[in-house]
Amino acid sequence: MFFYLHIPFCRQKCLYCKFALTPKFDELKIRTYIDALKREIEGFFISHPDTLIETIYFGGGTPSVLTSGQISEIIEVFREQKGFANVFEITLESNPEDITGEYLDALSELWVNRLSLGVQTLNGESLRVVGRADSNESIFRALDTIAKCSIENISIDLIAGLPGTVIGQTVSDLTEIFSCITPKHVSIYMLEDESYPLSWKPHLPSEEIVRSEYLSGMEWLQSKGFHRYELSNFAEPWFESRHNRSYWNHSNYRGFWLSSASFVGGERFINSPSFSGYYRGEKQSEGILSPESLRIERIMFGLRTSGVSLDEFDTVSTVEKFQREWLLKVRENRVFPTSTWIFLIDHIMGELI
């Protein structure tokens, strides 16, 4: 099974962020939270003692605000389970300002074998405008440190089209990053419209520029041997995130802590997004997903990843219409969005289902 741990703490809240988190935390808050997490994990394994542990993913928030000792304490709970021998991937999301050589050495000893670094951009002005805690300097310092560390599987997060972005920013960022380290995985996100605070409006690049930033980043990565295995995710062969794939292929996954989603035995449920609700053990359940809901999700996830079997569609006439409009293509009985129209997936989905 795939395990997600949500760490809801950040040193500063970025202006575009919609995750459940708090920039106000102290030792006591972290201690209380870790204790609750340990109880939740232990409770899960008491009722599911034979579960194999395939991946553990520390996401957030900013998991790297935790010390290596705190991360060790959490991993230890998994290590005590018999299914731990099966673990393949332990990922920790991090922000550049938290990266030190000692920290990475300690993570490596704890079997953290995948580090995801939130760079977003190397444009210092954009970082400042969107309220990132990191600066251009702290990012380069982190990249230098990572270049010397023993964790081989490094993933970089970028955002195409932040306010203040200039044409060619994404390729310039990638070129600089790859001159410092050799990531195996890169995610390029595009902010959704509603994420923008109104004050950014005058500084935002046009939709065309955002799309062309994404596409030029994709082409650059492909020229380096990366392939796109999900709308926003690119990897060298064999370095696709095994954990993230579990969400898209309906594997069983269990999320712990605030606002984490789980899919176990066909049921999807979400922990409460508020601290008080979470500590009371509140969850929202969608119940067991119906065959129709699962089919819709297979279409939705399939269009974002490796395509959808034509057999999933009740009628192929809409697929054919989109094919004529060059929005979709069909190869060997599988349906994919065309590369330039991946931006219209939501519109296409709306008509397909």
Span 193-222, contacts to ligand SF4 by CB under 6 A: none
Q: How far is the CB of 192 from ligand SF4 (least distance, A)?
A: 13
What 3 state SS string does 60-121 have? ECCHHHCCHHHHHHHHHHHHCCHHHHHCCEEEEEECHHHCCHHHHHHHHHCCCCEEEEEEEC
**62 touching ligand SF4, by CB under 6 A:** yes
| 60 vs 217 by CB, closer to ligand SF4 | 60
Span 9-38, contacts to ligand SF4 by CB under 6 A: 10, 13-14, 17, 19, 21
Helix then strand then coil, % of the chain, to nearest 5:
45, 20, 35
| 51 vs 165 by CB, closer to ligand SF4 | 165
Length of the chain: 353
Q: What single-letter amino acid sits at 96?
A: P
**How far is the C-alpha of 335 from the C-alpha of 247, rounded, in Å?**
20
By CB under 6 A, which span of 8-16, 96-104, 107-115, 204-212 interacts with ligand SF4? 8-16
| 156 vs 319 by CB, closer to ligand SF4 | 156
Which residues, in sequence order, are CB contacts of 250 under 8 Å at separation 6+? 263, 294, 297, 298, 301
Neighbours of 106 (CB within 10 A): 16
Q: Select the residue whose beta carbon is closest to ligand SF4 and give its number.
A: 17
Interface residue with ligand SF4, options 1, 3, 6, 61 (CB under 6 A): 61
Q: What tokens does 253 get?
A: 């996954």
**How far is the C-alpha of 326 from the C-alpha of 286, rounded, in Å?**
35
Partnered with residue 287 across adjacent β-strands are: 268
| 95 vs 121 by CB, closer to ligand SF4 | 95
Q: How far is the CB of 311 from ligand SF4 (least distance, A)?
A: 39
Exposure string over 115-127, b if 16+ CB within 10 A, otherwise e = bbbbbbbbbeebb
**x/- site string to ligand SF4, residues 138 to 167, per CB under 6 A?**
------------------------------
Q: How far is the CB of 327 from ligand SF4 (least distance, A)?
A: 31
Interface residue with ligand SF4, options 51, 81, 91, 95 (CB under 6 A): 95
**48 touching ligand SF4, by CB under 6 A:** no
Interface residues with ligand SF4 (CB under 6 A) are 10, 13-14, 17, 19, 21, 60-62, 95, 118
